[in-house]
């Protein structure tokens, strides 16, 4: 029986997979060309890590091999990632290509000679070339090589009166996979490869995720509750590597009763393990990029709830984080695009990492050993408003210590996310003696952070916001009510962080709001972050 795999390209005979035939056909046609007799296109195939770029292009490679008019070569350049000398890079690439093509009478030693490898006098028929892991090369090698390919492409284009096999160069089509630098964002002199067409590999769609798990059910005979598959889609948003990794956990590592259906209870347990117990190379790599000082400030800013950040590939920070799977794009329209986290699972992992990086020790002194907490919590009740009042008192009493090492923006103000991290860890510490769960949730991936508290069989929802102005406040009330309806609760708390608030405005804006459409009651509560 096949298995789920998230470790490199999948084997259809061994692993569950999604055909993605439209993507394969599209890339195939790009390399072949609109009119194959005239020549194909030079394309870049790009996407964040573990999205299936290599596997898709391998399928394209196998399909191209059926056409005997062309030689087709696919070559991974990962083995060159530590080679810094451009001429040595060229020598090693040329050596591999001549071996695969069976060429005997040519030796390439320098970059200046490299173009000769693709001459009509050298090759026996038009060549379609696929370079995988092209961005493993050093920046200078990428820049110099694509300059050669641009020269070859332009020369072929100028010979429009000749067929592909009659042109001076026989490099008919070419694909560079995983090429961040070739897009021109990180090259300060501009991209020397502005002739390429861009092929982006998206995440799996909702239907493709459903197809993937339907394949498992049909082959294994084990059923999966529909809500489980919906939650897998919601949490991972079709990211192929993470989706298949979780599929592996769900159907193998933690699947002890294969004669029983996989239920939501099973999903919740496995998901908790995936968050806190099991290392994932994709997540470890992602965090290693997000915590770099050059990018960390941007990631922390993305946790803020006041405004969205515009998405553009021209921004080198956005581009780097996107290509490494730290962020994604929220497309509202063709001319309105924003940065967001790629999926709730990734956002939770980043939230957990940064909250513990900033506040790595358990909070002490939240209450005295003999203090009566019955105004806040008992075995069967929880007063959220009083709990938040206690938090504000703790923050005010320990403000200098809490903010001593907190990361700050260029204007020296503390990032909004710091208070979200701190409140979350305060709650975790507060409930350490109780059978109470605190879970961060990120419904939109952009600008909405919620804390869910489960106590005594009840669910309490807290939506965290910064108080910006009255208009945003009114919108936040409506948004909180809608989220309360999604949670299936009758009331929800809107936690409003603000630097300072007087008693008059506190009484005015902390009034309960009952949403006319949903009937949900919203309890606004201020948390003052500045000195009282």
Classified as helix, coil or strand, 496 is strand
CA 44 and chain centroid, separation: 20
pLDDT in the model for residue 187: 43
Extract the tokens encoding 297. Answer: 């400030």
Extract the tokens encoding 517. Answer: 């459409």
Weakly modelled stretches of the chain, pLDDT under 70 = 179-196, 361-362, 444-447
| Helix (H) or strand (E) segment spanning residue 157 | helix 139-158
Residue 68 CB-density burial (10 A; 0-12 exposed, 13-18 middle, 19+ buried)? exposed
pLDDT in the model for residue 190: 43
Phi, psi at residue 121, to the nearest 5°?
Answer: -75, -20
pLDDT in the model for residue 507: 95
Distances (CA, A) of 44 to 99, 134, 312, 317: 24, 10, 18, 20
Q: Collect contacts of 209-218 with beta carbons under 8 A, ≥24 apart.
A: 209/233, 209/238, 209/243, 211/18, 212/16, 212/17, 212/18, 212/243, 212/244, 212/247, 213/247, 215/2, 215/16, 216/4, 216/16, 216/247, 216/251
**In whole angstroms, what is the distance from residue 76 CA to residue 135 CA?**
10
Distances (CA, A) of 181 to 42, 115, 149, 191, 440: 16, 21, 15, 8, 35
Classified as helix, coil or strand, 450 is strand
CA 304 and chain centroid, separation: 18
Instruction: Give the β-pairing of 521-528 and 513-514.
Output: antiparallel
pTM of the model: 0.85
Largest CA distance in the chain: 92
pLDDT in the model for residue 452: 95
């Amino acid at each position: 029986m096949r298995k789920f795999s998230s470790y490199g390209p999948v084997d259809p005979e061994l692993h569950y997979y999604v055909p993605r035939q439209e993507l394969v056909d599209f890339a195939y046609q790009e390399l072949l060309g609109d009119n194959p007799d005239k020549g194909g296109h030079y394309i870049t195939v790009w996407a964040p890590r573990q999205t299936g770029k290599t596997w898709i292009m391998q399928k394209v490679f196998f399909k191209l091999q059926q056409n005997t008019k062309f030689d087709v070569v696919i070559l991974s350049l990962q083995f060159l990632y530590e080679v810094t000398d451009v001429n040595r890079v060229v020598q090693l690439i040329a050596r591999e290509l001549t071996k695969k093509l069976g060429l005997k009478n040519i030796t390439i030693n320098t970059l200046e000679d490299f173009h000769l490898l693709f001459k009509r006098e050298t090759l026996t028929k038009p060549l379609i070339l696929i370079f995988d892991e092209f961005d493993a090369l050093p920046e200078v090698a990428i820049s110099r090589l694509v300059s050669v390919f641009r020269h070859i492409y332009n020369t072929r284009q100028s010979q429009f009166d000749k067929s592909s096999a009659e042109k001076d160069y026989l490099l008919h089509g070419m694909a560079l996979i995983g090429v961040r630098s070739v897009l021109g964002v990180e090259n300060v002199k501009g991209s020397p490869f502005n002739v390429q067409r861009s092929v982006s590999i998206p995440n799996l769609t909702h239907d493709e995720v459903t197809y993937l798990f339907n394949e498992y059910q049909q082959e294994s005979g084990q059923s999966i509750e529909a809500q489980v598959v919906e939650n897998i889609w919601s949490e991972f948003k079709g990211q192929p590597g993470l989706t298949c990794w979780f599929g592996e956990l769900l159907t193998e590592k933690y699947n002890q009763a294969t004669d029983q259906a996989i239920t939501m209870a099973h999903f919740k347990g496995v998901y908790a393990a995936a968050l806190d117990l099991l290392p994932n190379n994709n997540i470890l790599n992602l965090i290693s990029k997000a915590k770099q000082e050059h990018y960390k400030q941007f990631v922390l800013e993305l946790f803020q709830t006041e405004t969205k950040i515009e998405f553009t590939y021209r921004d080198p920070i956005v581009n780097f984080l996107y290509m490494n799977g730290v962020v994604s794009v929220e497309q509202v329209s063709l001319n309105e695009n924003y940065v967001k986290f790629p999926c709730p699972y990734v956002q939770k992992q980043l939230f957990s990492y940064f909250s513990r990086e900033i506040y790595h020790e358990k909070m002490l002194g939240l209450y005295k050993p003999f203090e009566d907490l019955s105004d806040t919590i008992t075995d069967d009740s929880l007063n959220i408003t009083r709990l938040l009042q206690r938090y504000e008192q703790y923050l005010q009493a320990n403000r200098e210590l809490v903010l001593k090492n907190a990361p700050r923006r260029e204007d020296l103000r503390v990032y909004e996310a710091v208070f979200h991290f701190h409140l979350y860890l305060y709650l975790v510490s507060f409930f350490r003696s109780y059978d109470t769960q605190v879970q961060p949730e990120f419904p939109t991936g952009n600008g909405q952070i919620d804390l869910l508290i489960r106590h005594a069989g009840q669910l309490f929802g807290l939506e965290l916001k910064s108080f910006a102005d009255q208009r945003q406040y009114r919108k936040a009330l409506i948004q909180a009510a809608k989220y309360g309806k999604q949670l299936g609760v009758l009331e929800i708390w809107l936690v409003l962080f603000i630097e300072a608030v007087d008693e008059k405005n506190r009484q005015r804006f902390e009034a309960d709001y009952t949403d006319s459409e949903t009937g949900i009651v919203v309890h606004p509560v201020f948390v003052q972050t500045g000195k009282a």
